[in-house]
Amino acid sequence: MKLKRFILCLIGFIVIAIPSSLARDDAQYWSQYSIKWLDTKYVDLVNFWDVRFTDDWSHVGLWFTRQQVRINPWKHLGFNVAYTYLETEVQNAAKTQNEYKYHHRLELELNPSWNLPNDWKLSNRNRVEFRWIEDKGSDNTRFRQLWELEVPVKKLRIESVYLNNELFYDFSTQKFNEDRITPFGVKIKVCSKAYLKLFYLIQCKKGARDWSSNQVFGTQVGVTF
């Protein structure tokens, strides 16, 4: 119990300390939804939607939809295959107005996890994305790795709190070009078939010259049929 209190205090410290030091450029809101419409022992089918409000929540800067097949042959190792269609806002060539460019992505994942003492869970998502981007072709493959620690709470409908970090590596430039830090997230049980996640995330992106960072407040609603 003392260790658990220490971790919760550490998460609280990170929530206070990191935002002031890293997130400076833009405040965003990410609204996410998932529906698991096939839930079996070894195979799940999930639809996912994400709408991101950028420029201090003023308009939609990005949205996507994903259809994912989750294969779970073993308790602590899963494989995912997904197709994602995405549109993101970019400035046009004349730099007079913004327009949307579309992406197609084939995503392959290998995801191990580990049970720790006190029912804590450590998970590792490894995703390769084969991306076809409008006006940029198909030479845009990247790798994403996310580590997450989840601590159970199970009080007042709160199932758990969690923190994670995700690194992005671009194969065409051979560089790490993005890092997403979630210093605090909470998962709330709405009912036996639905949950709600609330999270705070710091998105750090590599530009032409230097790094920029954004504050992201997000929600995720998940439903299982």
pLDDT digits (tens, 9 = 90+) for 157-201: 999 999 999 999 999 999 999 999 999 999 999 999 999 999 999
Note the pLDDT tens digit of each residue in 20-47: 445 458 999 999 999 999 999 999 999 9
Q: Indicate which CATH number applies to the domain containing 203.
A: 2.40.128
Domain that holds residue 196: 2-224
Tell me what pLDDT residue 35 has. 98
Q: What is the mean pLDDT of residues 103-114?
A: 98
Structurally, the chain folds into a number of domains equal to: 1
Of the CA atoms within 13 Å of residue 110, those in its CB half-sphere come to: 2
The CA-based angle 162-163-169, given to 5 degrees, is 140
pLDDT of res. 94:
57
List the Cα angle 51/54/58 in 5-degree steps.
100
